[in-house]
Structures are given as C-alpha cells and as structure tokens.
Amino acid sequence: MKSPRIPTVLILACSAALLLAAAVPAPAQGVNLGQTIEGLSLKSEILGRDVAYAVYLPPDYQAGNRRYPVIYLLHGYTDDESGWIQFGEIGPAADRAIAERRIPPMIIVMPDGGVTWYVNDSLGKVRYEDMFVKELVPHIDASYRTRPSRQFRGLSGLSMGGFGALMYAMRHPDLFASCAAFSAGIWTDEELIARKPADFDRFFGPVLGTGLVGAARLTPHFRSYNPLDLAKTLPEESLKKVDFYIDCGDDDFLIRGNSDLHLILKDRRIPHEFRVRDGGHTWEYWRTGIVDGLAFIGEVFHR
C-alpha cells in the first residue's frame, strides 16, 4: 500500500513555518517583562508645545506601591524618543539585567530632544534645558512612583544624548547623582573650528548661531554647555558630586573629544570610569554597552 502523497504546497508551507519559528528567538526563561509605554507627552509652557516621551516601567511596577529610581535616557542627533526602544532594544535589555540582578529595578524615561542638543539655544527661543529641569523632571516625579531625590536620579545617552547627559550632570549636580555617557558628542576646539561652514550650520547653527567661522564659533554660550569647558572650569567639589562613566569606541570619530574629557577629569582628580571598547558610532556598540552603564548608575542607587 502506497503512503498518501503530501502536496508540495503543504510541504513548502510547513518548511517555511519551521524556518520562521527558528528565526524568532524564544522568550528568555524566568525573565519577568517590564512595560514600555510610548505615545506619552508633556504639555510644556516653556517651549509652547507638547514634548513626546516614552517610559519603561520595571516588571514589578504594577504589583505594589514601591518607589523606584529613575534614569533619563537621551537619544542621538535626528532620532527621537523611540530610538532606544526600536534600535537600542532597551526594554528586553533592562528586563534581562533586572532578572540577572545586574541592575536594580528602575524607571527609564526617554524624552524627544529633537536636534536641540538638549540646551537652551543662543537666542533664548527654544529653551529645552529649562523645560527638562523645570517641567519634565517634576512631571515624571508627579506621574510615577519615583524616588524624587538626586541620589536616585541618573542620566545616560548616546552621541548628542551623551553630550546632554554629561552637560546636565555637570550643570545640575543638585538634581543628578550619576551619568553614563556613550560616544558623547564632544569635539575639541580645533575640531570645531575646522568644520566646514555648511556642516557647522547644519549641526550646530540652530542652537549656537549660523554663519560663525573659525574661533568665532567658540562663543561664551557654547563654552557654558561644552563638557570639556565645564570639566575645566567648574569647582572640583561640584564635579565630585556626580559619578561619571564615559564609554567611546576606538573607531568612533568622537574618540578624541571623549579622551580629552577623560584626561581633564584625571588631571583634576575627579573620580570617573573611562571605557574604550572595540567599535564605532553604531547601535551595535551602544546595545552591547548600555547595561554596563545602567549597572554603574545602579551602584550609585544602592549606595
């Protein structure tokens, strides 16, 4: 008796299903899942518009009344509040790290910074820093069960967001106790002076002013936000209030500025961690490093 002939279409369909199942990773065993909420917004009176943000809540957030530390996780240039979720996969990374006890349960806030560099612009028209400090932080503390003190408030970010994290930590040590900056957007004076006019105006013109050439770009406004200048000029006791973690790839075009920041802090004997790993200015680099940065901040939360 002949075996019944299975249609070729069915065989192909089953094969495709098996391949698809193999391509989709199974959920990690024993890992409780947190909640990532997108589409949130803050009505900002300072900016005169809504500011979008996303938030990650740890796995046990809905189970009780516990309060949690907060990390503000800042995105890079031209990205938005979804960057760390979509490309950085921060939700699964945090879930696993919490399950493995590498980091404590924490709330992670991801605001949309546009291309503001997270500063107040030179004309005082777009005051993003004022919005962040005076509206966003209080809004988060009022909306979620946070621990609303500086020890339990940290900053992290990549590229433009790394610049923002360092800058806020240095300018507002009364609000933030820790900072983990990845591939921070830091340029030496020589690098900034040498940038082509069109390139400078496109990246920095909206916040620093357009048409600036050579050393004229190094304005007092720029100096007041530049982490290299802040590391040189702020009182040592102020810088020492914050725990700093700086990470930049050896092939990253920003390595010189990040290395200079490390040397300035070292010369001034400001405690900090400096990491140079193999890699460039890529999401692969940031995905593989973010948990170490969160763990560094988590140690400050535990202290």
120-154: pLDDT as tens digits: 999 999 999 999 999 999 999 999 999 999 999 99
Residues 6+ apart with CB under 8 A from 26: none
**Confidence category of residue 99, pLDDT binned at 50, 70, 90:** very high
Mean pLDDT to the nearest integer, 70-95: 98
Q: List the domain range (segments joined by +) for residue 271.
A: 34-186+226-302
Q: Which residue do the tokens 């299903």 mark?
A: 17
- Give the integer Cα–Cα distance in Å for 134 and 137: 7
pLDDT one-digit tens code per residue, 199-246: 999 999 999 999 999 999 999 999 999 999 999 999 999 999 999 999
Task: Give the number of domains in the chain.
Answer: 1
pTM: 0.90
pLDDT at 159: 98
Domain contains 275: yes
- 3-class DSSP assignment, residue 178: strand
Residue 154 inside a domain? The answer is: yes
Q: What is the CATH number of the domain that holds 161?
A: 3.40.50.1820
195 in any annotated domain: no
Confidence of residue 20 (pLDDT cuts 50, 70, 90): very low
- Phi and psi angles of residue 64, each rounded to the nearest 5 degrees, phi first: -165, -155
Instruction: Kindly state whether residue 50 falls inside one of the protein's structural domains.
Output: yes
The Cα–Cα gap between 106 and 95 comes to 10
**Alpha carbons 144 and 90: distance in angstroms, whole number:** 19
3-class DSSP assignment, residue 273 = strand
* Residue 60, domain member (yes or no): yes
Nearest Cα to Cα of residue 78 among 4, 159, 12:
159
Angle between helical axes of 290-302 and 90-99 (0-180°, round to 10): 50
Residue 211 in any domain: the answer is no
Confidence class for position 30, pLDDT limits 50, 70, 90: low
Distance from chain centroid for Cα 92: 16
In a domain, 82, yes or no: yes
DSSP assignment letter at 41: E
The tokens of 155 are what? Answer: 């900053």
- Band the pLDDT of 31: cuts 50, 70, 90: confident
For β-strands 107-111 and 178-182, DSSP reports them as unpaired
The mean pLDDT of the chain is: 92
181 vs 248: CA distance, rounded Å: 8
| Token reading at 11 | 């065989």
Provide the percentage of residues in the chain whose pLDDT is more than 90: 88
Higher-pLDDT residue of 207, 21: 207
pLDDT value at 1 more than 50: no
State phi, psi for 233 to the nearest 5 degrees.
-110, -25
pLDDT at residue 303, as a whole number: 72
Give the DSSP per-residue string, 131-167: HIIIIIHHHHHHHS-B--SGGGEEEEEETHHHHHHHH
Q: Which pLDDT score, from 0 to 100, does residue 35 have? A: 97
Per the structure block, which two tokens stand in for 107? 């709330």
Q: Is there a domain that residue 26 lies in? A: no
